Amino acid sequence: MTFPSLTSFDDADLRGLGYRVLRVSVFDHWLSAEEAAECPVMNHALALRAGALDAYEAGEARFLALYDGMALTGVTDAQGPLCPATAARTIRDSLREVTLMDIRFPELALRAVGGWDRTDLLLLEPAADLDALTARIRRHGLFVLP
C-alpha cells in the first residue's frame, strides 16, 4: 500500500482507505480528562518537569522495543526507505511528541502513525496478521485500546 494522505483520523475514514485500525498505548485504558491532567508521564516534557523521567522512559522503551522488532526488513516513509538511524530517530522523536511519525513496516503490512498522550495509531493493511501483531504488542507490555 502507498501512503494515502490522512486528512482525518476518524476510524471510518481510515477503514475506507482499506486499513484495520489499532490504537496502542502505554496505558491500559483511555484516560479520563482528570486522569490525564494528573498523569506525570503524559508526555516527555511533563515527565522531565515532574521528575518522572525514569517512569516515562520505561514506557518509551516498551514502544521502542516493539518498533525495533517490527523493523525486520526495514522501515519506509512517504519518500521511501529509511536508514536504520533515521528510522530510530523518527520513532524516538514521535514518542516524545517532537514530530509525529508516519512510517510503514513493509514486511508486516503495517503503517504506524505517531500520536499524542502515549498512544500511537497502527493501520493494518489487508495482508497484516492481526493476531500476531496483538500478541507482539502484549509481549512488549503495551495495550490495544478499544
27 in a structural domain: yes
Q: Is residue 133 part of a domain?
A: yes
- Does 79 fall in a domain? yes
Tell me, yes or no, whether 1 lies in a domain: no
| pLDDT (tens digit per residue) in 22-53 | 999 999 999 999 999 999 999 999 999 999 99
Does residue 5 lie in a domain region? no
In a domain, 49, yes or no: yes
Segments forming the whole domain that contains residue 26: 11-142
pLDDT over threshold 70, residue 4: no
Quick check: is 3 in a domain?
Answer: no
Residues 59-76 pLDDT 10s: 999 999 999 999 988 999
**3 state DSSP class of 52:** coil
| Residue 132 neighbours by CB distance under 10 Å | 10
| pLDDT tens string 73-116 | 899 999 999 999 999 999 999 999 999 999 999 999 999 999 99
Per the structure, how many domains does the chain have?
1
